[in-house]
Amino acid sequence: MWRLRECSLNDEQLAAAIGVSSGVIRNRRSKPQSWKQVDIDRLAALFAMSNTASQQLTNTLVELSQQVAALPSAERRRIERTLQFKASQLSEYNGSGWTIQYLLRMHQGLSRS
């Protein structure tokens, strides 16, 4: 994200480069927690930076979703409370994109347990 602050591209140019609208860029600049993981991957590509950690996180989230869905209901509910997400939400966010806000919420839930 520090590269983004140093970037000479305006909101419209940056939006075109990562495939979102300029309004989305303005919103995300004012609310950094609303950035999506896929946007961060695109920014990494734009700035020629590695996105290995992000790809590993994506793979882990997909595996987590599958494993939680396969658990017996009592165990699944316990894990859902810890993660602060339902199993269906995990799958949904894997498809639509995790925001930083949701990843932080999951991290907080895991840190408390």
Confidence of residue 40 (pLDDT cuts 50, 70, 90): confident
By CB neighbour count within 10 A (0-12 exposed, 13-18 middle, 19+ buried), where does 101 fall?
A: middle
pTM for the predicted model, two decimal places: 0.79
Per-residue model confidence as pLDDT tens digits over 6-32: 778 888 988 998 899 999 999 998 898
Per-residue model confidence as pLDDT tens digits over 54-108: 899 999 999 999 999 999 999 999 999 999 999 999 999 998 889 999 999 999 9
Residues 6+ apart with CB under 8 A from 20: 39
Q: How far apart are the C-alpha atoms of 19 and 78, rounded to whole Å?
A: 38
CB contact at 8 A, 34 and 44: no
pLDDT at 29: 86
Please report, for residues 19, 23, 50, 83, 102, the alpha-carbon distance to residue 113 in angstroms, rounded to integers and kept in the order given.
38, 38, 31, 9, 17
